[in-house]
């Protein structure tokens, strides 16, 4: 009995998803929990495992198609149930317009004489009529199959509220041979700039949307067809056709003789589409065509296709770090290259660099550093991307939609500085996560928000919602841009829970492993600008939250403090600033100051010994 595979709920607010790639084909044997397809939502990209073992009987939702949660996307059953699907494509045989699919011009002349030779009054082409008559019934289903194999490339839904996209660049030209999942074009939407992979292998037959043109989601932007659309059908089916085909080929031979220039023409462009029909139809050309595809297939591994589809982010990361994808062994599903593989390869490449640097004289090192610092954007004018435009709009909307104000306190971090120095080694061995300064601040903030609930709130439809638990949105810098994964129930977690949670969320945010409900539901935000060396910051409150705290760099400074007898003394202490931006419509300055003083007191007291095992 077959099993329906439905699109699962991938987050509390996710109602639909887009099938980005099928990892299995109809007829493949599948084991339970084996990755079956990839799905993209406006919040997360993930793989969907098979709910049962068996044979993939039917795929009901095509790639780049968006469907609601709960929709049946495919069926899995026993091998005995997999027989009914074969005749279906053959039933589409009576498509006379299928020859139109023979876009390559080399194959057009061959059907033309065949149609002319069909009338019986012509006595000479009788031998040609016989072969044409025999392949005709076989060619019709083959052509129908070719027609059904021609794939429309649609503009996919790249987000829940995205309704249109702009084609920014075509990566392939008409006539180019394309591998499945190979990047085909670049698209920009309100939410993301990304590459669209080819949904199928073949030849790019037609480009329907030009660069810088904006179209709706679901619009057909291009068509991909098989490389040998018509010539391959007559040749393999009837064996006798090859015999008459030889004399027919001899007839055009003298025609080609007066124009010997035609022969060199294919030579300069062996990769072009005409080579493929020659390789399939005429037997003599087959040996010449065999070496042709070989070089065409060789460059593909260098593009990283040896490990399957490489995502645009991974490809960009490899390019930025000078990593050859062909030299990277993928550790993902089916050998796919993941970001961790590129980062590991980069680490290996970077390791010898510092060793060589000390050996090199200081003079050559300086110019090398200066050259690396030169931005390729110098002297250029670049159109603002849609995602950057949207980000700007959202920031301005947040600034104009609330009365934002920033208050700042200076904090003595001596206690947590010393505690961390004592406990970080044992803590990492025990908890499996590094002990950074950030967990001390997130723990102090979570505790303070329990007391100062006016900052753990949201403004919704003119009402103030005071949340029952503290869910911290933690700003993480990723290649896609700034992400805000949520550390849920932070007020009930220990310092160790904070350290592990922060490390886990940050790691998965950078590798694209977050689930949809892990980047929503935040009630207060924290941004660690100090990790980039920032001394002071005025962060923008993300609506509908009403507060965000920045943790800046901790650095040793000379400060005035009290001596043993109350006298003023100069001392060197690790200090930092804590800027708090808040919505002044519902949070008064005095309330914000009291909250900051609570956080400051918690950090300066540094009463974390029990949680650190000291």
Query: According to the model, what pLDDT value does residue 583 have?
Result: 96
Q: How many independent structural domains does the chain possess? A: 4
Both 456 and 519 in one domain: the answer is yes
Distances in whole angstroms, Cα of residue 436 to Cα of each of 439, 502, 554: 7, 10, 12
Where do runs of H (alpha helix) occur along 111-150? 111-117, 126-133, 135-149
Among 297, 326, 346, residue at a domain's last position: 297
Instruction: Please indicate, yes or no, if residue 540 is contained in any of the structural domains.
Output: yes
Higher pLDDT, 464 or 287: 464
Q: What CATH number is attached to the domain comprising 20? A: 2.40.50.100
Higher pLDDT, 145 or 608: 608
pLDDT at 166 over 70: yes
- Mean pLDDT value of segment 183-188: 87
Both 284 and 403 in one domain: the answer is no
pLDDT at 331 over 90: no
Average pLDDT, the chain: 75
Spatial strand order of the sheet with 183-188 comes to: 193-197, 183-188, 164-170, 213-216
| Least reliable range by pLDDT among 241-250, 346-355, 488-497 | 241-250
Q: What CATH number is attached to the domain comprising 406? A: 3.30.559.10
Higher pLDDT, 247 or 601: 601
Confidence grade of residue 309 (pLDDT, cut at 50, 70, 90): low
Query: According to the model, what pLDDT value does residue 362 have?
Result: 52
Strands (E), 183-276: 183-188, 193-197, 202-207, 213-216, 220-225
- Mean pLDDT value of segment 343-364: 56
pLDDT at 188 over 60: yes
pLDDT at 149 over 70: no
| Least reliable range by pLDDT among 82-91, 296-305, 418-427, 483-492 | 296-305
pLDDT at 22 over 80: yes
Query: According to the model, what pLDDT value does residue 395 have?
Result: 82
Instruction: Please indicate, yes or no, if residue 132 is contained in any of the structural domains.
Output: yes
| Rounded Cα distance, 597 and 444, in Å | 11
User: 56 and 94 in contact (C-beta within 8 Å)?
Assistant: no
| Least reliable range by pLDDT among 123-137, 350-364, 535-549 | 123-137
Instruction: Please indicate, yes or no, if residue 182 is contained in any of the structural domains.
Output: no
Active-site hit among 152, 517, 584, 591: 584
Which residues are CB-contacts of 213 (< 8 A; sequence separation ≥ 6)?
A: 166, 167
Q: What percent of the chain has pLDDT over 70?
A: 67
Query: According to the model, what pLDDT value does residue 160 have?
Result: 58
Which pair of structure tokens corresponds to residue 524?
């207060």
pLDDT at 255 over 50: no
Angle between helices 414-431 and 589-605 in degrees, nearest 10:
70
| Least reliable range by pLDDT among 48-57, 113-122, 208-217 | 113-122
Active-site hit among 28, 320, 393, 588: 588
pLDDT at 594 over 90: yes
Residue in 131, 130, 129 with CA at minimum distance from that of residue 118: 129
Both 95 and 49 in one domain: the answer is no
Residue-range definition of the domain harbouring residue 16: 1-85
**Rounded to two decimals, what is the model's pTM?**
0.47
User: 302 and 315 in contact (C-beta within 8 Å)?
Assistant: no
pLDDT at 84 over 80: no
| Least reliable range by pLDDT among 214-218, 227-231, 321-325, 564-568 | 227-231
Query: According to the model, what pLDDT value does residue 586 have?
Result: 93
Both 40 and 139 in one domain: the answer is no
Query: According to the model, what pLDDT value does residue 606 have?
Result: 93
**Phi and psi at residue 557, to the nearest 5°:** -135, 155
Instruction: Please indicate, yes or no, if residue 400 is contained in any of the structural domains.
Output: yes
pLDDT at 601 over 90: yes
Among 297, 332, 358, residue at a domain's last position: 297
Higher pLDDT, 232 or 503: 503
Query: According to the model, what pLDDT value does residue 247 have?
Result: 41
Query: According to the model, what pLDDT value does residue 116 have?
Result: 39
Both 434 and 484 in one domain: the answer is yes
**Active-site residue, 452 included:** no
User: Which secondary structure element, helix H or strand E, spans residue 577, and what is its range?
Assistant: strand 568-583
Among 297, 329, 358, residue at a domain's last position: 297
pLDDT at 290 over 70: no
Q: Is the preceding peptide bond at 544 cis, omega within 30 degrees of 0? A: yes
């Amino acid at each position: 009995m077959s099993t329906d595979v439905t699109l699962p709920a991938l987050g509390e607010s996710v109602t639909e998803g887009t099938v980005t790639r099928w990892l299995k084909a109809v007829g493949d044997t599948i084991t339970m929990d084996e990755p079956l397809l990839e799905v993209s939502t406006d919040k997360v990209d993930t793989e969907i495992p098979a709910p049962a073992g068996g044979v993939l009987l039917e795929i009901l939702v095509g790639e780049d198609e968006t469907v609601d949660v709960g929709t049946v996307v495919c069926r899995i059953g026993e091998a005995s149930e997999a027989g009914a699907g074969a005749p279906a494509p053959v039933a589409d045989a009576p498509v006379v317009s299928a020859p139109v699919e023979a876009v390559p011009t080399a194959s057009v002349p061959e059907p033309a004489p065949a149609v002319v030779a069909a009338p019986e009054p012509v006595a000479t082409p009788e031998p040609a009529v016989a072969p044409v008559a025999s392949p005709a019934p076989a060619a019709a289903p083959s052509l129908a199959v070719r027609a059904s194999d021609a794939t429309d490339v649609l503009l996919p839904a790249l987000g829940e509220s995205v309704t249109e996209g702009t084609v920014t660049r075509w990566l392939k030209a008409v006539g180019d041979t394309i591998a499945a999942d190979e990047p085909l074009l670049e698209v920009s939407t309100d939410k993301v700039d990304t590459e669209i992979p080819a949904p199928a292998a073949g030849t790019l037959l037609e480009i329907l949307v030009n660069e810088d043109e904006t179209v709706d989601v679901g619009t057909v932007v291009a068509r991909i067809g098989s490389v040998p659309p018509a010539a391959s059908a007559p040749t393999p089916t009837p064996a006798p056709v090859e015999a008459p085909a030889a004399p027919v080929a001899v007839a055009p031979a003298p025609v080609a003789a007066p124009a010997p220039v035609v022969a060199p023409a294919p030579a300069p462009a062996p990769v072009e589409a005409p080579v493929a029909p020659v390789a399939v139809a005429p037997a003599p050309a087959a040996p010449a065509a065999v070496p042709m595809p070989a070089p065409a297939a060789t460059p593909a591994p260098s593009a990283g296709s040896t490990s399957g589809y490489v995502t645009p982010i991974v490809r960009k990361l490899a390019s930025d770090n000078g990593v050859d994808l062909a030299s990277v062994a993928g550790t993902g599903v089916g050998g796919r290259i993941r970001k961790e593989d590129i980062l590991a390869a980069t680490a290996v490449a970077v390791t010898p660099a510092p060793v060589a640097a000390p050996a090199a004289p200081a003079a050559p090192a300086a110019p090398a550093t200066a050259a690396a610092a030169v931005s390729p954007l110098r002297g250029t004018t670049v159109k603002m991307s849609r995602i950057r435009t949207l980000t700007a709009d959202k920031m301005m909307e947040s600034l104009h939609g609330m009365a934002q104000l920033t208050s700042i306190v200076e904090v003595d971090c001596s206690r947590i500085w010393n505690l961390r120095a004592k406990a970080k080694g044992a803590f990492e061995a025990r908890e499996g996560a590094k002990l950074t300064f950030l967990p001390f601040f997130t723990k102090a903030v979570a505790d303070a928000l329990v007391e100062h609930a006016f900052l753990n709130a949201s403004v919704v439809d003119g009402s103030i919602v005071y949340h029952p638990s503290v869910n911290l949105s933690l700003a993480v810098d990723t290649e896609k841009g700034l992400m805000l994964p949520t550390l849920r129930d932070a007020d009930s977690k220990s310092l160790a829970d904070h350290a592990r949670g922060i490390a886990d969320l940050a790691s998965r945010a950078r590798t694209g492993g977050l689930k949809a409900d892990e980047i929503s539901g935040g009630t207060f935000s924290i941004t660690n600008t100090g990790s980039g060396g920032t001394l002071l910051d005025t962060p923008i409150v993300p609506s509908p939250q009403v507060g965000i705290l920045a943790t800046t760099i901790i650095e040793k400074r000379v400060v005035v403090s009290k001596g043993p007898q109350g006298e003023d003394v100069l001392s060197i202490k690790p200090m930092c600033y804590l800027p708090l931006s808040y919505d002044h419509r519902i949070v008064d300055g005095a309330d914000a100051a009291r909250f900051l003083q609570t956080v400051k007191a918690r950090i300066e007291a540094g009463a974390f010994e029990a949680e650190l095992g000291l």
